[in-house]
Amino acid sequence: MSGSRAAGPPPFVVAVVGPTATGKSDLALDLAERLGHDAPGGAEIVNADAFQLYRGMDVGTAKVPVDERRGIVHHQLDVVDPEDDASVARYQEDARADLDAIASRGAVAVVVGGSGLYVRALLDVMDFPGTDAAVRAALEERAEREGRLALHAELARLDPQAADAIGPHNTRRIVRALEVVEITGRPYTANLPRQEYVRPAVQLGLDCDREVLDARVAGRVARMWDGGLLAEVERLAPRLGRTASRAVGYAEVLDAFAGRCTPDQAREAIVANTRRLARKQMGWFGRDPRVTWLDAQAPDLADRALAVLDDARRAPVPGGPLAGAHGGASDGGHGADAAPVRRSLGS
């Protein structure tokens, strides 16, 4: 750990990111409590988990209950009805307004979530092209008539990089990419976020060994199952829109309700799909060299995270953490002098 604590609140947004089930919410609460002591306005948390935006989707998204939020103000929770589709563009506008308001109150902002695109939309330079209902409808009709593979082949011709990134199985994203190409006349990838912060930020990533994470995922699913996931999905089922109904935990239970699998098979599928989601999240955040990785199992995790933030406060220089170049891995929290060895889920 580095030396004495740097005085005053950090002059940057703190973001806690990484795979599901690594303890991001707990660390965010710990950091908000401790950083808030040095800030005149305390500290506030901004959610960056896409499905925690939805009202009523509590058990299946591991949303921190109100009585466990330690009195810390949370933003971007319960702001979208489950029958509606969450919008990254709307989230960007609303969550950035939250960051502005938090700063105006002299408070520290702690962003927490595992939805990589939402984190990037909030923190990085990222523009959103408009939409065209007629163009999208025509593309969706073509997807039904010609099949998604035909549309993916067209995207591969117009924007090979986007086609590779999206893959041939995600019809919704293929349609969106082609819509953007038609609307803007530019490749879809031209609109993707750049690794350039719109305001100073430091990202802390939580990582742990694969076997440990797999066990954590299984434990989380067991708690959700015992905590009323089936009843929650049953209550929300008539209102779950296209996006909400595809959330891990909800899609599998809906399959069980529809007789496509047994409840036990649904539970097993939730575990498997959550583990798969964790790998995808690690792939997303692992490609960002600005993330400083910490061992999620460390008993003094909050102290190690604070040491990283203290180092960042002492080094606001070009190429330093506030410029977006603070990356690599922590060796488990021994400060900025640690060798930048990249951790991974398989480590």
Q: What are phi and psi of 98, to 5 degrees?
A: -60, -45
Q: Which residues carry a binding-site annotation?
A: 18-25
Contact between 133 and 298 (Cβ < 8 Å)? no
What whole-number distance in Å separates Cα of residue 333 and Cα of residue 347?
16
Residues annotated within a binding site for substrate: 20-25
Long-range CB contacts (within 8 A, 24+) of 149-157? 151/175, 151/178, 154/178, 155/181, 155/188
Q: What are phi and psi of 19, to 5 degrees?
A: -65, 160
Distance CA 48, CA 116 (A): 8
Q: Which residues are annotated as a binding site for ATP?
A: 18-25
Distance CA 311, CA 333 (A): 11
DSSP assignment string, 77-130? SS-B-TTSPP-HHHHHHHHHHHHHHHHHTTPEEEEE-S-HHHHHHHHB------
Give the count of alpha carbons within 13 A of 109, CB side only: 28
Helix (H, G, I), strand (E, B) or coil at 43: strand
* Cα(195)–Cα(123) distance, integer angstroms: 9
Contacts for 118 with CB less than 8 Å, ≥ 6 apart = 48, 49, 50, 88, 91, 95
Q: How far apart are alpha carbons 30 and 64 in whole angstroms? A: 13
Which residues are 112's β-sheet partners? 16, 47
248/21 Cα distance (integer angstroms): 13
